[in-house]
Structure 1
C-alpha cells in the first residue's frame, strides 16, 4: 500500500514539477562527483603517464643486488611488463685516451616508456651485440673513435645519443653515458663479486595492477633497495605532478561540498512543501509509521531517479570533455567503476544525511497545522543536522580523496564558513532594522525584506557565500599554481649545463660566452665535502643506525658545496640572515629540517682530509624545478677559498636567440665550438627535458582550467537552488504588497536591490573566508607563497551583487509580472 502511494506521489509531483529542485540537486551532486571523478582520474592518469617518461617506466626498483625472484614473480602474476637493466661506472679506452663513463646496460624492451633520441632522431631499436651508443661529450673527450675498449671487450661506437628518457638530471654526475646491451656485460669481465652495480628493474602496466604489485612487493624490499615513481622526487616533474593532483582532488572535494549544499537546500525546500500534506494525512488517521514509510519510499525513489540522471550526465560530461582534450590525454582511459560507485555513494549518503533533519521536522508536523499554518512542529535538534551534514561531507570527501589532510582542511573551512557567515550575516541583516520598517522607496523596502526574512536570509548568505568562497579558492589556487610553474620554467630556462670547469678555464670560458652573445648564469665553484659533526656531535650513517648504532644521523654521502658573497636568485631566505661573517653557511630548508638544525648550530665538514667548522646563520627555500644551479650548502668565500675546486654554469641557447643577436651560427655549431675549445668541460644538453617539462605543464594547465569550469557550473546551480528555496515566502509577500497597492516598478526595484544586497554581503564575507581557506591550503597542502588578494575586496562584493541580483530577478520574473489575484490564487 505504501509503495503504491509513494509511487503515485512520485509520479504526480514529478509531472507537476514539484520534485524538480530536489531531483536537480541530487543529479547535480552525482553528476559533479562522478563527472569530476572521471575527468580528474583521467587527467591524473594522463599527467602521471606523461611524467612517467622521465623514468622510462611507471615504477622502478633500484637495487645494489639482483632482485629476489619472488618480487619478479609477483610482477608477472599481476600482468606487468618488465625489463631489467644494469648501471655501473668504468673506464673506457680509445688508443692512448681514457675516460670514466657511466655504463647503462639494457635488455630488449628498454625503454618501456618514451624513446631513445639519437642525433639522427628517435629510435625504437637498441645497440646490436658488440656495439655501443655514446653521448656526444664522450666522443669529444676521446676524439670520436670508431671503437672503444671496455674491460676484455671491444665495442663499436655506432650512434650518438642525444637523450635517454630516464637520463635524469644531475649536472654533478659528470661521467658521460655509454649505452650497451645487457648480454654483452659478461664478456667484458668487469662485473666481479663486490663490484658496485645498480640493478634497475622497470615496470609498466595498468594502475590497478601497479597498485597490487606495490602492495605485495614493497614489504619484500630491504633498506638498500629503492622504490621509484614519478612522485618519488627522482623526477624533475615530481613537484608539479603532486601539486596538480592535490589541486584536482581539492577541486573535486569542493565539488562534493557544492553538491552537498544543493542537497541540503533542496531537501529543506521539499519538506517545507509537504508540511500541509503531512498534517492532512495525520488528520485523516494515518499512523506515524505509515507516514514515515510513505515519505521514506518517496525519498528513495527521488534519490534513485536523481542518481540515474546524474550518472548519465557524468558519462556524457566525460565524453563531451574528452572531445576537446589533447590526444596525449584523451588516450588514457581509467575504468568507470570508481566514478560510478562514488556517484552512487554520494547520492545515497548525501540524500539521507542531508535530508534527515528536514525529514524529522516534516514527520513531526502536528495535525493542528491544517487550522494554524504557522505551526512547524520540531524546532530543536539543529545540532544533529549540522553533525549529520559535516559527517556526510567528511565521509564523502575521504572516500573520494583518500586524504585525511585535504578532507579535514575542507571540513574545517566549511565549519568556519558556516559559523562566521551565520553570525556576521545575521548581524549585518539586523542592522537594517531601524530603516527596515519604512517602505517608501525601493531601498527601504529591500531592507525591510531583509529584516523580515532575517533567519532565511542568513541561511541564503551561507549558500551564496559558500559558492563564492569555493570559486575564489579554486580560481586563486589555479592561478598561483600556473604562476609558480611559469616562474620555474620560463621561456629562457637553461637548456645547457657546463660542469667540470677548471679554474684556469673560467675566464676564457666567460670570454667565449660573451663573444657568442650567450647570457649564462654565474659560474659557481663546486667543492666536494662531507658533513661529519653537528654541534661537535659526530654523525652516523643510515646504515649504522639500521645496524643498531646510536647517534645523530647525518647525510651518508659527499655534498657539492659552493661559496658566494651573495645568495643566488630563486633562493629566498626564510630564516636568519646571510653575508654577516666569514664562518657562516646557508642551508636549504629541506636539509635543515631533515637534520633538525636551528640557527647558530655549528657544522663541521671534512674537505680534502681537512676539517672546517662553520655556523648556520640562514635557511633558504630552493626551487629545484627551475633547472638553475642550486646547492644544499652555500658558504662565504673565505671559508672555502683554500680548497681545490671545479666550477659549473648554465645558459639558454637556441637558433632563434642567436639569429636575433646577429649570429649566423646555429646552436649546435656554437656548442661544438665550445666542446672543441674546452675539451675538459662537460656540456650537458637538457633542452629536450625542458621541452618535455613544458609540455606536461601545459597539459596540467588545461586540466586545471577544465576542473575550474566544472566547479563554476556546479556553483551556478547551487546559487539557483538557493534562490529557489525562498520563492514560496516571497510569493506570499508579493501578494500582500500587491494587495496594499505597491506598484510593479517598486516591487521589481526592491526585489532586485534585496538580491543585490544579499550578493554584496555574500561577496564580502566570501573574501574573508576565502583568504583564510587559502592561507590554510597554501601553508598546509600546496606549499605556496601566501599573500592577500586586495582586488577581491572590491570585485567580489560587486560581482556577488550582480550575479545574485540577475539570478534572483530571473527566478522571480514570473511572480513580479503576476497580478494580485494571480498571486493570491497561486499562494
Structure 2
C-alpha cells in the first residue's frame, strides 16, 4: 500500500514539476562525480602515457642481477609487454683512438613507449646483428669511423642517434651512448662474473594490469632492485605530473563538495514542502511506520531517477569534451567502470546522509500543524546533520581520491568554511536591522528582506560563498601551477649543455659564446668529492644500515660540488645565510632533511684523498626542473681552490635567435664550430627533451582548463539550486507587498539589490576563506609560493554581486511579473 502511494505521489509531483530541484541536485552530484572522474582519469592516463615516453615504458625494474623468471612470468600472465636491456660502461677503439662509452644493449621490442630518432629520421627498428648505432658526439670524438672494436668483436656503425626516448637527463654523465642488440653482448666477452652491469627490465600494458603487477612484483624485489615509473624522481617531469594529478583530484573533490551542497539544499527544501502532507496523514490516522515507508520509497525513487539522469549526463559530458581534446589525448580511453560506480555511490550516499536530518524533521511534524502552520516539530539535532554531512563528504572524497591527506584537507576546509560563513554571514546580515525598519526606498526594502530572512540568508550565504571559494581556489591554483611550469621552462630554456670544460678553456669559451650572442648560464666549476662525516660521526651506506651496521646514513656515491660568490638563479635561501665565510657550505633543503642536518653542523669531505671540513650555513630550495646547472652543495671559492676541477654550463640556441642577431649560421653550424674549436668539451643536446616537456606541460594546462570549466558549471548549478530554495517564502512576501500597494519597479529594484548584497557579502567572505584554503593547500599539498591575491578583494564582491543578482532576478522574473491576485492564488 505504501509503495503504491509513494509511486502515485512521485508521478504527481514529477508531472507538476515539484521534484525538479532535488532531482536536479542529485543529477548534478552524479554528473559532476562521474563526468569529472571520467575526464580526470582520461587526462591522467593521457599525461602519464605521454610522460612514459621519457622512460620508454610504463614501468621499469632496474637490477644489478638478472630478474627472476617468476616476475617475468607474472607480467606475461597479465598480458604486460616486457623487454630486457643491459647497460654498462666500456672502452671502444677505432684505430689509435679510444673512448669510454655507455653501452645500451636492447632486446626486441625496445622501446615500448616513444621512438628512436636517428639523424635520418624516426625509426621503428633496431640495429642489425653485428651493427651499432652511436650518439652523434661519439663520432666526433673518434673521427667518424665506420667500425669500432668492442671487446672481442667489431661492430659496424650504421646510424647516428639523435635522441633515445629514455636518454634521461644527467649532464654529469658525459660518456656518449652506443646502442647495440642484446644478443651481440655475449660475443664481446665483456660481461664476466663481477662485472658492473645494470639489467633494465621495461614493462608496458593496461593501467589496471600494471597496478596488479606492481602489487604482486614489488614484494619479490630485493633491496638492490629499483622500481621506477613516470612519477619517480628520475623522471624530469615527475614534479609536474604529481602536481597535475593532485590538482585534478582536488578539483574533483571540490566538485563532490559542490554536489553535496546542492543535495543538502534540495533535501531541506523537499522536506519543507511536505510538512503539511505529513501533518494531514497523521491527522487521518497514518502510523509512523507507514509514513516512513511512504517517504523512504518516494526519496528512493527520486534518487534512482537522479542517478540515471546523472550517469547519462556524465557519459554525454565526457563524449562532448572528448571532441575538443587533441588526438593524442582523445586516443586514451580508460574503462567506464570506476566513474559509473563512483556516480552511483555518490547518488546513494549523498542522498541518504544529506537527507537524513531533514527527513527526521519531516517525520516529526505534529498533526497540530494542520491548525498551526508555524509548528515544525523537531528543532534540535543539527550536530547530527553536520556529522552525517561531513561523514558523507569524507567517504565520497576518499572513495574518489584514495588520499586521506587530500580528503581531510578538503573536509576541514569545508567545515571551517561553514562555521565561519554561518557566523559572519548571520552577524553581517543582522547589522541591517535598524536600517531595515523603514522601507521607503529599494535599498531599505532590500535590507529589510535580508533582516527578515536572516537565518535563511545565512544558509544561502554558505551556498553562495562555497561556490565562490571553490572557484577562486581552483582558478588560483591553476594559474600558480601554470606560472610555476612556465618559470621552469621559459621560452629561452637551455637546450644545450657543455660539460668537461677545462680551466684553460673557460675564458675562450666565454668569448665564443659572447661573440655569437648566445644566451648562456654562468660557467660552474665541478669537483667530485665524497661526504664522509657529519659532526665527526662517520657515515655509513644504506646497504650497511640494512646489514645491521649502526650509524648515521650518508650518501653512497661521489657528489658533484661547486663554488660561487653569489646565489645561483632558481635557488632560494629558506634558512640561514648564503656562504659568508670561507669554511661554510650551503645545502639543498631536501638533502639536508634526508641527512638530518641543522645549521652549524660540521660536514667533512674527501677529495683527491684529502679531507677538509666546513660548517652548514644555509639551506636552499632548488628548482630542479629548470634544466639549468644545479647542485646539492655550494661552497665558497677558497674552500675548493686546492682541488682540480672541470666546468659546465648550459645555453639556449635556435635558428630564429641567430637570424635576429644578423648571423648567417644555423644552430647546428654554431654547435659544430664550438666542437671543432673545443674538441675536449662534450656538447649535450637536450632540445628534443625540452620540446617533449613543453608538449606534456601544454597537455597538463589543457587538463587544468577543462577541469576549471567543469567546476564553473557545477558552481553555477549550485547557485541556481541555492536561489531556488527560497522561492516559496519570497512568493508569499511579494504577495503581501503587492497587497499593500508596492509598485513593480520598487519590488524589482529591492529584489535585485537584496541578491546583489548577498552576492557582495558572499564575495568578501569567500576571499577570506579562499586565502586561508590556498595557504593550507600550497604549504601542505602543492608546495607552492604563498602570497595574497589583493585584486580579489575588489573583484570577488563585485563579481559575486553581479552573478548572484543575475541568477536571482532570472529565477524571480515570473514572480515579479505576476499580479497580486496571481501571487495570492499561487501561494
Matched, 1:522 2:515: no
Deviation digits for residues 639-668 of structure 1 (CA, Å, limit 9, x no counterpart)? 001100000000011111111111111111
How far did residue 517 of structure 1 move? 1.7
Deviation digits for residues 344-386 of structure 1 (CA, Å, limit 9, x no counterpart)? 0000000000000000000111111111100000000000000
Give the match for residue 144 of structure 1.
144
Matched, 1:116 2:102: no
Contact 2:62 2:200 in 1 (8 A): yes
How far did residue 250 of structure 1 move? 0.3
Unaligned 5+ residue runs, structure 1?
none
TM-score when scaled to structure 2? 1.00
Deviation digits for residues 152-194 of structure 1 (CA, Å, limit 9, x no counterpart)? 0111111111110000000000000000010000000000000
Contact 2:58 2:202 in 1 (8 A): yes
Partners of 2:510 and 2:438 in 1: how far apart? 80
Partners of 2:696 and 2:578 in 1: how far apart? 36
Partners of 2:747 and 2:364 in 1: how far apart? 36
Give the match for residue 294 of structure 2.
294
Give the match for residue 452 of structure 1.
452
Give the match for residue 731 of structure 2.
731
Equivalences for residues 30-45 of structure 1 within 5 A: 30-45=30-45
- Cα RMSD (Å) of the superposition? 0.6
How far did residue 637 of structure 1 move? 0.2
Matched, 1:91 2:91: yes
How far did residue 631 of structure 1 move? 0.4
Question: Counterpart of 1:529 in 2: which secondary structure?
Answer: strand
Question: Counterpart of 1:433 in 2: which secondary structure?
Answer: coil
Partners of 2:425 and 2:490 in 1: how far apart? 44
Contact 2:579 2:618 in 1 (8 A): no
Give the match for residue 483 of structure 1.
483
How far did residue 579 of structure 1 move? 3.5
Partners of 1:364 and 1:748 in 2: how far apart? 38
Equivalences for residues 52-451 of structure 1 within 5 A: 52-451=52-451
**Runs of 4+ in structure 1 displaced over 3 angstroms?**
none
How far did residue 819 of structure 1 move? 1.3
Partners of 2:2 and 2:194 in 1: how far apart? 80
Partners of 2:115 and 2:575 in 1: how far apart? 44
Give the match for residue 627 of structure 2.
627
Contact 2:579 2:617 in 1 (8 A): no
TM-score when scaled to structure 1? 1.00
Give the match for residue 749 of structure 2.
749
Give the match for residue 605 of structure 2.
605
Deviation digits for residues 664-722 of structure 1 (CA, Å, limit 9, x no counterpart)? 11111111111111111111000000000000000000000000000000000000000
Partners of 2:681 and 2:235 in 1: how far apart? 25
Give the match for residue 498 of structure 2.
498
Matched, 1:789 2:789: yes
Unaligned 5+ residue runs, structure 2?
none
Question: Counterpart of 1:286 in 2: which secondary structure?
Answer: coil
Equivalences for residues 436-585 of structure 1 within 5 A: 436-585=436-585
Question: Counterpart of 1:568 in 2: which secondary structure?
Answer: coil
Partners of 1:801 and 1:374 in 2: how far apart? 32
Partners of 1:496 and 1:353 in 2: how far apart? 58
Partners of 1:588 and 1:818 in 2: how far apart? 70
Partners of 1:35 and 1:737 in 2: how far apart? 44
Equivalences for residues 703-718 of structure 1 within 5 A: 703-718=703-718
Partners of 1:291 and 1:497 in 2: how far apart? 77
Give the match for residue 720 of structure 2.
720
Matched, 1:678 2:678: yes
Deviation digits for residues 497-539 of structure 1 (CA, Å, limit 9, x no counterpart)? 0000011111111121122221211100000001111111111
Partners of 2:612 and 2:322 in 1: how far apart? 60
Question: Counterpart of 2:434 in 1: which secondary structure?
Answer: helix
Give the match for residue 651 of structure 1.
651
How far did residue 320 of structure 1 move? 0.4
Partners of 1:67 and 1:260 in 2: how far apart? 49
Contact 2:253 2:410 in 1 (8 A): yes
Q: Name whichever of 36-45 and 742-751 sits farther off.
A: 742-751
Matched, 1:687 2:661: no
Partners of 2:164 and 2:500 in 1: how far apart? 22
Partners of 1:619 and 1:193 in 2: how far apart? 43
